[in-house]
Amino acid sequence: MATNILSRITKALLAPVLALGATVGLASAPAHAAVWSSCDQWGNTGLNGYTLYNNIWGSGAGAQCVWANSGTNWGAWADHPNTGGIKSYPNAKKVINKSITSLSSLTSSYNVTVPSSGAYNTSYDIWDTDYDYEIMLWVNHHGAVGPLGSSQGAVSLGGHTWNVYKGNNGANEVFSFLRTSDSNSGTVDILPILKWIKDTKGWMGNETIGDVQFGYEITSSAGGLDFRTNNLTVSGG
């Protein structure tokens, strides 16, 4: 099964290389040339200061593989059935481990290629070290997906305008920021968002931010879909 899946990933990734030629370069490297790949449910590795994670965690999931040319250039092929519920969150994680007030900056840039079918969101998932608070930043989404909790209105922060939702999943508070229009590339200034939650809204205290994850929360991708992170950088200090 894994060999067959990796073969399908290779074909999907090789197509744009053949179409665009040598100018595409390493950003479209086929799966067989990737530095790392895994079809394991919890497959993970560290590259260039990031942790890559296949992370097939939801019930009723299908097959999924993740590949990486580097910690900042990676992707996933997923074939999850057309049913409800999140199946997976393939992602790259950068550890921060600094309190909100001790951070002088926390920014990220992203560039992705996502499918025009399926149900998913492309999102940052930001956690405190105790996992009491989860801050999600959706930069795009497609299909029958939606945030947890109730609407808190719209706000312009970090270079984007978001629709904000606040909820609880039974284990932690969840603050979701959904970009008012889909974006496949951009830069997010994350620190003002954290300060707004802490200072303006008072929804959390001076938490220590453990890590910043970026990836694809996939609900369905029947037939096999490709999710590509062309470039991702997370920096803070």
pTM, to two decimals: 0.87
Structure tokens at 130: 């105790």
Q: What is the DSSP code string of 141-200?
A: EESS---SSEEEEEEEETTEEEEEEEEE-SSSEEEEEEESS--SEEEEEHHHHHHIIIII
Distance of alpha carbon 176 from alpha carbon 165, whole angstroms: 5
Q: Where are the beta strands (DSSP E) in 1-90?
A: 36-38, 44-47, 50-53, 63-70, 73-79
Residue-level pLDDT, tens digit, the chain, 237 residues: 443 444 444 434 433 333 323 222 233 334 447 999 999 999 999 999 999 999 999 999 999 999 999 999 999 999 999 999 999 999 999 999 999 999 999 999 999 999 999 999 999 999 999 999 999 999 999 999 999 999 999 999 999 999 999 999 999 999 999 999 999 999 999 999 999 999 999 999 999 999 999 999 999 999 999 999 999 999 998
Cβ(139)–Cβ(111) under 8 Å? Answer: no
Return the closest-CA partner of residue 82 out of 165, 143, 168. 143
Cβ(85)–Cβ(58) under 8 Å? Answer: yes
Distance of alpha carbon 202 from alpha carbon 198, whole angstroms: 5
Which one-letter amino acid corresponds to residue 93?
K
